[in-house]
Amino acid sequence: MSNRIREEFLQPKESVRLNKYLSEAGVCSRREADRLIESGKVTVDGERAQTGMRVLKGQVVKVGKKTVSRQDELVVLAVNKPKGIVCTADRRERDSIVRFLDYPVRVTYAGRLDKDSRGLLLMTNNGDIINQMMRAANRHEKEYKVTVDKEITEEFIKKMAGGVPILDTVTRPCKVKKIGKYTFSIILTQGLNRQIRRMCEELGYQVRDLVRVRIMNIRLGSLKEGTYRKLTDAELEELDRMLK
C-alpha cells in the first residue's frame, strides 16, 4: 500500500485530530464529531475533550461511557453480494452481509444494496470513507444493469433519464442506456430507498434482476458471486482523489 494512502487513511505515527479519529472509528461524521465534543460527551484519558485537539496513539477516547478506537489496518473490500443477503450489521439477522462475509476484521458496508439486488458492495473498517461516500451532496456515481418484465421503449429510457416522481420527490436526471430487449444500464448519483425499482414501477415496469456493476471507480468485473477481494493500491489512490 502506498505511503500516501497510509497517510490519508491510516493512523499517523504522531497524532490525529479528534474529530477525524471519531469519524474513522465509525462513530459519526467529522462535523457531527465536533458537535459531540462541544457538548462535553467526549473524553480523552478521562478528561473532557476540546474542539480541535489531537489524539496520540495509546490514549483512551470515550463517547459517554463507551471506549472507541480506530483500526490499525485499513481494509476496503469489493464484495459481490448475492441476492437474498441483507445489508445490515445486526448479526441476529441470519442472512446479514456481516455474517455471510465472516471477515476477520470488523467491517461494514458503504452504501447498501436491498435484499433482492445483487452485485458490487464496498465494505470497510474506515468510518471516514463510509461517511464521505454516503454524503448525498457529493453525487458519487453508481452504475447498475437492470432487467425488467417488458420490452424497453425509447419513451421509457427518456422518462427514466429525465427524472421520475417517487417518494414525494423527483429523481435526479441520470444516464440510462438500452443494452438489450429487456435490459438497460443506469448511472445514479443519489441513493433513494429502492430507487430503481420504484422508478420502474412508476413507469409500469417490474424489475426482474438488478446488479450493481460499479461504484465510482470500483468495478465488479469478473468477481464471482459471493466472493470478495481487497482493493488495489491504484483503486485506493483514485478513490481517495475522488472522495476529496
For residue 239, give its domain range. Answer: 76-136+221-243
Q: Could you report the per-residue pLDDT of 162-197, keeping only the tens digit for each?
A: 999 999 999 999 999 999 999 999 999 998 999 999
Residues 9 and 33 in one domain: yes
CB 68 within 8 A of CB 25: yes
Distance between CA atoms of 120 and 220, rounded to whole angstroms?
5
Q: Could you report the per-residue pLDDT of 26-65, keeping only the tens digit for each?
A: 677 788 889 999 999 999 999 999 999 999 888 899 999 8
Helix, strand, coil percentages for the chain (3-state, nearest 5):
25, 30, 45
Catalytic residues: 114
Q: Distance from first CA to last CA of the chain, Å, rounded?
A: 19
Residues 225 and 109 in one domain: yes
Q: How far is CA 137 from CA 26, 190, 191, 208, in A?
A: 20, 9, 11, 30
In the chain, the number of structural domains is: 3
pTM of the model: 0.76
Domain containing residue 111: CATH number: 3.30.70.580
Residues 32 and 63 in one domain: yes
- Residue 96 C-alpha cell reads as 446479514
Residues 9 and 124 in one domain: no
